[in-house]
Structure 1
């Protein structure tokens, strides 16, 4: 046997050994509120959908899927597998879930981790019947792809957020699109500024932007304040700059708090919202801390929001007409937060800040607006604002599209 003919044989043998080894070790990476990897069977004749989410820097993947699962209501049976370390929020929202540690969490290389994920997901798929797997993530994992080949009749649907940065890797996009029953792309307020590689791809079906709010109408200001334990006679500003998993946001956060104090004094109290992903302890005098998920229904408690440029945060403030300063995070790997912030800043009451001076100017504008609109903020009757609000829902259109894709055969 020549050296060249031996190499493929060696690779094949190593592949088989790795798969066999993974078969006996994958279970230690999984946990959740489902025993024996067997999800509860639905007593009704409705499609059973397994939502699989990747491990992003924030809550976007898991939140979109929770919104769609909730919007699907009695028409679907939803279960979850997530790589997010905030997996427990899925159980807290009333869904069965399994958490599997991501490659970054375990420190394993891609090949080794995918072998483990393949063994885990294959076992789950064999123990349960799912009509579809809805995957929310940037790349379809090899472990997921291989596991789906081990069962018949389970469709794969790719829930893919758009607005990728120009220059993002795309070499596998076409192949991955060929694997799925359909690609669903939630609308983005920054779509007019999209110059990335996903712009105009015909494979994707665009649906309304997805915001997770279990109630279709948020609480009013008095109800939201009472629910959060905040004083009704006080004015509040919400600061939500992300989990800090991409880069250090400490100094930006300190500046925001200082600018609110400088322009508003004690008339507006800053409240710092923490992501379920964050375990950080903040040492800023007088700052109030809020840990609540989902946060969207309580936004009317705040006169304005200073937010990162992530998908969830921006579309929440647009949908509920909350004045906002958007500070895009340039360090996000594929998400073009600058484009999203540009789109949002075209709307009334929304501003973008990419520098210290722009943060200062934006907060000054928001504080002045707070003084001007002591009562509920009026909706500006502009087509752009009303159109943007009309293109955001709580996952209803996405859920309907998934059902159509399942029934299409």
Structure 2
């Protein structure tokens, strides 16, 4: 894993690590960088391997690499340039997945082995899958993919070579698996679904911790979105929906939890629409659950998701949930039963929120249906046990 900053994949990894039976298995965790708000949540039974400075080069910005090593800086800059040229020649907008592919392939020859141990099972949990193929000895090697593959815009030939070297390719939903297989049908035989592992009891317990940085006016409806401030999460859509709701006179407050490179642009958009005080950015929170517990409606306005951890957590906490109709939405939401799926534009999001505000009995019905379902799935860990040789 890269690091333990706040994010859906990181929370998913914590769920996996907390579900493992440590009386039966010894677990090493290698992080490129020992940083992030979730570091203290790693189970004490996990053996955290030492950092290796060369691996930080994969995730450090170029400005950070300048100070450390000129040759690493030049190699990474060349990789980013090559990826952008490749995207431009193919008429596509640059995406993180493709840039990561190039950075990994260019820097891989300079990376040392992680260690000399031989493992029964190795898991590459978030990108850089060639590392466990090249830099680690294991009988079985698995690579996770957490999103809708169609939206990644990968370079398919080089990506195929990466996935083909693994013994198993894990997806977090059937829809996400189908999206991947569409592009790599010959790899279907070694693709599997293992859902993000969540403990419902843990989520409910953490939700009871008191928070002091939120206040609401009387009769105010509070909305919440959790996720990185990046293109995938489509916060611009949420801000525009907030503007439409305020324009119609609704007494709402919309909270965003997360950090990301779009923060300055999004805050500027909020100000330009006169939403200061109505759409609030609270930054990252190591424990988002009290904020989910606090809100009236949880909204996930994303452009794409594999299987949203935050949506599932909101359902565990019995919240009325609205998601946009990204390709994997139906894998989590039964529309009108335990959430609402709406079209992928600000007007549709605003209309769905308006409908729930005007019909509190529907909000209560969605909440009751969530309460009646068991969203905890610690048993998913058994699928991983079965892959241990």
User: TM > 0.5 between the two?
Assistant: yes
**Aligned residues between the structures:** 327
Is residue 401 of structure 1 aligned with residue 383 of structure 2? yes
Aligned partner of 1:5 in structure 2 is none
Q: Deviations over 1:187-235 (max 9, x none)?
A: 257779998436892312323x2155584452598x36x3465459765
2:129 paired residue among 137, 140, 143: 140
1:363 paired residue among 347, 353, 356: 353
In structure 2, what is the Cα distance between the partners aligned to 1:398 and 1:119? 36
**Distance change (3 Å), C-alpha of 1:367 and 1:189:** farther
Matched-pair contact (CA < 8 Å) for 1:326–1:351: yes
Matched-pair contact (CA < 8 Å) for 2:3–2:32: yes
Structure 1 position 358, deviation (Å): 1.0
Aligned partner of 1:102 in structure 2 is 58
**Coordinate RMSD, CA, aligned:** 4.4
Aligned partner of 1:16 in structure 2 is none
In structure 2, what is the Cα distance between the partners aligned to 1:399 and 1:277? 34
Matched-pair contact (CA < 8 Å) for 1:189–1:340: yes
Identify unmatched segments of 5+ residues in structure 2. 63-75, 80-100
In structure 1, what is the Cα distance between the partners aligned to 2:206 and 2:248? 26
Is residue 89 of structure 1 aligned with residue 37 of structure 2? yes
Aligned partner of 1:30 in structure 2 is none
Q: Which has the larger radius of gyration?
A: 1
Aligned partner of 2:95 in structure 1 is none
Aligned partner of 1:9 in structure 2 is none
**Distance change (3 Å), C-alpha of 1:216 and 1:237:** same
Aligned partner of 1:245 in structure 2 is 230
Instruction: Name the SS for the 2:188 alignment partner.
Output: coil
1:307 paired residue among 300, 313, 330: 300
2:258 paired residue among 260, 264, 274: 274
Is residue 156 of structure 1 aligned with residue 141 of structure 2? yes
Mapping for residues 7-406 of structure 1, pairs under 5 Å: 52-53=1-2, 59-72=7-20, 74-75=22-23, 76-82=25-31, 87-94=35-42, 96=48, 98=51, 100-102=56-58, 105-106=61-62, 107-108=76-77, 109=79, 114=105, 116-117=107-108, 119-122=110-113, 124-126=114-116, 130-137=119-126, 140-141=129-130, 143-148=131-136, 151=137, 153=138, 155-161=140-146, 163-165=148-150, 169-171=155-157, 175-187=161-173, 196-197=182-183, 201-207=188-194, 209-210=195-196, 212=198, 215-219=201-205, 223=208, 226-227=210-211, 230=214, 236-240=221-225, 242-246=227-231, 249=234, 251-262=236-247, 265-266=250-251, 268-275=252-259, 280=264, 282=267, 283=271, 284-287=275-278, 288-290=280-282, 291-296=284-289, 298-309=291-302, 310=305, 311-327=308-324, 338-343=326-331, 344=333, 346-348=335-337, 349-370=339-360, 373=363, 377-379=367-369, 392-393=375-376, 396-406=378-388
**Distance change (3 Å), C-alpha of 1:111 and 1:253:** closer
In structure 1, what is the Cα distance between the partners aligned to 2:103 and 2:262? 28
Aligned partner of 1:6 in structure 2 is none
In structure 2, what is the Cα distance between the partners aligned to 1:302 and 1:116? 44
Comparing 252-261 and 368-377, the one that deviates more: 368-377
Instruction: Name the SS for the 2:115 alignment partner.
Output: helix
Q: Deviations over 1:269-292 (max 9, x none)?
A: 322222477765835421444331
Matched-pair contact (CA < 8 Å) for 1:70–1:214: no
Aligned partner of 1:331 in structure 2 is none
Aligned partner of 1:34 in structure 2 is none
Q: Deviations over 1:246-301 (max 9, x none)?
A: 379564343233344456733x4322222477765835421444331342465232
Matched-pair contact (CA < 8 Å) for 1:181–1:405: no
Q: Deviations over 1:168-202 (max 9, x none)?
A: 65435665455334333322577799984368923
**Distance change (3 Å), C-alpha of 1:262 and 1:374:** farther
In structure 2, what is the Cα distance between the partners aligned to 1:61 and 1:319? 18
Instruction: Name the SS for the 1:405 alignment partner.
Output: coil
Structure 1 position 165, deviation (Å): 1.6
Matched-pair contact (CA < 8 Å) for 2:203–2:313: no
